[in-house]
Amino acid sequence: MIRSGFIVVVLLSLLTAGCGADNKKRPPSFTNVTTAISTTKDLAVVESAVGMESAVGDALHYDPTSLRAQPYTIRLPFPDHVARQLRPGQSVILEAFGEPGKKAAGRIREIRPALNSTTLTRDVIVTVATRGWRPLGSIRGEVVLGVRRKAVVVPEQAVVLRPAGSVVYRLEGEQAREVKVATGMVREGEIEITEGLAPGVTVVVDGAALLSEGARVQIRTERRTAPDAAPPAAPAPSKAP
């Protein structure tokens, strides 16, 4: 039979251990974050397709003596809903995967009516006349369909995907407030906010994925090193007696 005194000792030891656990180092109550302010800018609505030199252009314009000087054609399969918005004569910016950074200009010559039943695309034939640019392999073509004026944008890292949808965290004093948003285009590290956020709002960028509604935050500041101190002046030479 276990004595009551032994039970008391065990209970006291457990209580002591629990008190010691409370004294252990706890995680910080603040989350270090960086912030940005939502702004507005004009965003170009750009669509792209990947194709290659067309067989028609290869047959009509191939001349071994002046291969690089003649115009040629490229076939770009655009989705049907994009092809319906294109017009002959519209400009196209072209870039070859084998020569990144080198771009050429072209114009739409023809939009084929036939629809590919597998990919739901239509061939767009582009004429290129840029001298000295005739790469081999796949070519990416971009067309501008329009411009969205004064679109609200934030850094891409500020948008976090939650089970309920996309959210951003608005800074309110030392707390983060969760705001549900709808997103649009992504351009050069920025994402368009189509619903839920106005321009001029401070949102969390780095650290946003670690937050929840009402979380306490601390803005991280850049640490600047102080300029090197000037060396001490050399002591004046003592005069001889």
Determine the pLDDT at residue 155: 94
Average pLDDT of the chain is 80
Q: Please give the angle made by the CA atoms of 52, 55 and 60, to the nearest 5 degrees.
A: 120
Q: What are 145-186's pLDDT values in tens digits? A: 999 999 999 999 999 999 989 999 999 988 999 999 999 999
Determine the pLDDT at residue 229: 42
Tell me, which fold does domain 44-147 have in CATH?
A: Elongation Factor Tu (Ef-tu); domain 3 (2.40.30)
Domain with CATH 2.40.30.170 in the chain: 44-147
**Options 3.90.1150.10, 3.40.640.10, 3.30.465.10, 2.40.420.20; CATH of 31-42+148-219:** 2.40.420.20
Which residues have C-beta within 8 Å of that of residue 151, sequence separation ≥ 6?
Answer: 40, 41, 42, 43, 184, 185, 192, 194
Q: What are 94-107's pLDDT values in tens digits? A: 998 888 878 899 99
Which is more confidently placed, 101 or 50?
50
Domain with CATH 2.40.420.20 in the chain: 31-42+148-219
Instruction: Kindly report the pTM of this predicted structure.
Output: 0.62
pLDDT-derived band at 62, boundaries 50, 70, 90: low
Determine the pLDDT at residue 98: 82
